[in-house]
Amino acid sequence: MTYKVKFVDPAKGYRSIKEEIDAAYFEVMSKGDLIDRGQLKSFEKNLAAFVGTKYAVGLNSGYDALHLSLRAAGIGQGDEVIVPAHTFVATCSAVVNIGATPVLVDVGKDFNINVDEIEEVITDKTKGIIPVHLSGYMADMPRIIEIAGKYNLVLIEDACQSLGSSIVDQKSGGRRQEAEIRDQGSETRGKKKMAGSWGLTGCWSFYPFKILGGYGDGGAITTDNRDVAMFATQMRYNGEDRDTGEYHGHGFTCLLDNLQAAFLDVKLRHLPEWIKRRKEIANRYRTALSDISDLLLPHYDRLGFDHVYQNYTVRSKQGNEFSEYLKKNGIEVLTQFRKPYYKHKALKLEDSGFPETEVLSREVCSLPMNTEITDEEVEYVIKTVRSFYNK
């Protein structure tokens, strides 16, 4: 089906920065710089600076970032790792595939792990927590860090959906970005600490539809820990230290392509202006739709928590009826995830009951949110949503 308003429009996105992308392509191709060259190093340096960590290591996917982070932390057989019940399945699969047991925790109204329920599931076997910053909004990291500290747990951030988001950390010290945050009309002075700089690692996906998307798969970890950065750098290349030729373990083939790195480096330069545009669109949706009582909008108004709107996920009491109406009227929407991952039989996970995840799974609907969308298209989405509720 051709939609009047697309969920994302990669071709239009390409056209908007065509000259820069084409120049990056010709530079890589004309030199034959395909594997682990300057473009990868440059992107890693710029990504680390953007996130505020000492290191970034380019990988093949967000899944690889999670997988290598768990291995770097020494987590494996017999260990338990806490993950949210509402996330993309890869968060959980990375835990299963290293031989550990995922322990699911329900989410709260903001779609992120419900911090009040974390301590209830901690056992002697618990070794780590993977909070997911879903849709561009961070999990409550100040509280999660406290819990991780109390029980000596490794913290790995699944930040795949939240590049550019942040929380003002009142207690922060060290390498953090000073910022003056203006929120809800009041002014808070604090240190803005970016997603991906709180845990042992931050895990990133550059899947094409992400806020920073490549033209194929890609991922990275960010970290302040030199040993972890070194481990990932070797393991992504089958365990080899490329300077000495020494193998440091049985590794994997999961290096970020140099060509993708060159494209991502171009796009990273535009990210701050793209996030600004996403926030404008979110504000427009909020102004126009917040009076509809059957529609819950993703504006949580927590002081110091910055939403970058990777997705603009609303909750409609009318569930499929609402999402199908939008589609029928030419608006491409996503309904991730109508069926929670733990309900898929082949994954052999225990469904111990996650009430919030159950309800939101029936209600979620992500409206078009991308930097290519025009004001007219946004108005059309608003008009169509309103017409559904005025029926």
Ligand X SMILES: Cc1ncc(COP(=O)(O)O)c(C=O)c1O
Q: Under the rule (CB under 6 A), what is the footprint of ligand X?
A: 61-63, 87-88, 90-91, 132, 158, 160-161, 205, 207, 217, 219
Where does 99-223 show beta strands of DSSP type E? Answer: 101-105, 126-129, 154-158, 166-169, 177-183, 186-194, 201-205, 219-223
Q: Sign of the CA dihedral 67, 70, 74, 80?
A: negative
Kindly tell me which of 48 and 90 has the beta carbon lying closer to ligand X.
90
Residue nearer to ligand X on the CB measure, 83 or 381: 83
If we measure between CA atoms, which residue out of 52, 22, 356 comes closest to residue 222? 52
Smallest distance, Å, CB 169 to ligand X? 22
Q: CA-CA distance, 168 to 187, in Å (whole number)?
A: 12
**Minimal CB distance residue for ligand X:** 62
Nearer to ligand X, 111 or 388 (CB): 111
Closest CA to 166 of 306, 273, 309, 274: 306
Shortest distance in whole angstroms from residue 63 CB to ligand X: 3
CA distances in angstroms from 300 to 109, 275, 304, 361, 382, listed in the order given: 9, 18, 11, 19, 20
* Max CA separation in the chain (angstroms): 69
What span, in angstroms and rounded, lies between the C-alpha atoms of 212 and 385? 28
| Residue 17 and residue 389 in contact, taking contact as beta carbons nearer than 8 Å | no
Burial of 39 (0-12, 13-18, 19+ CB in 10 A): buried
- Residue number, 190 or 202, with CB nearest to ligand X: 202
> How far lies 367's CA from each of 102, 221, 243, 281, in Å?
31, 29, 47, 11
Please identify, using beta-carbon distances, which residue of 61 and 114 lies nearer to ligand X. 61
Q: Minimum Å distance from CB 133 to ligand X?
A: 8
- Name the residue nearer to ligand X (CB basis): 131 or 190: 131
Look-up of token digits 């795949």: 160
| Closer residue to ligand X in complex, CB, 158/265 | 158
Q: How far is the CB of 207 from ligand X (least distance, A)?
A: 4
160 vs 373, beta carbon nearer ligand X? 160
- The amino acid occupying position 206 is F
Task: Provide, rounded to whole angstroms, the least separation between the CB of residue 205 and ligand X.
Answer: 3
- Least CB distance from residue 62 to ligand X, whole Å? 2
User: Which of residues 61 and 126 has its CB atom nearest to ligand X in the complex?
Assistant: 61
Q: Kindly state the smallest distance separating residue 323's Cβ from ligand X, in Å.
A: 19
> Rounded to the nearest whole angstrom, what is the least distance from the CB of residue 134 to ligand X in the complex?
6
Burial class (CB in 10 A: 0-12, 13-18, 19+), 57: buried
Closest distance to ligand X from the beta carbon of 157 (Å): 10
Per DSSP, the residues of 176-187 read -EEEEEEETTEE
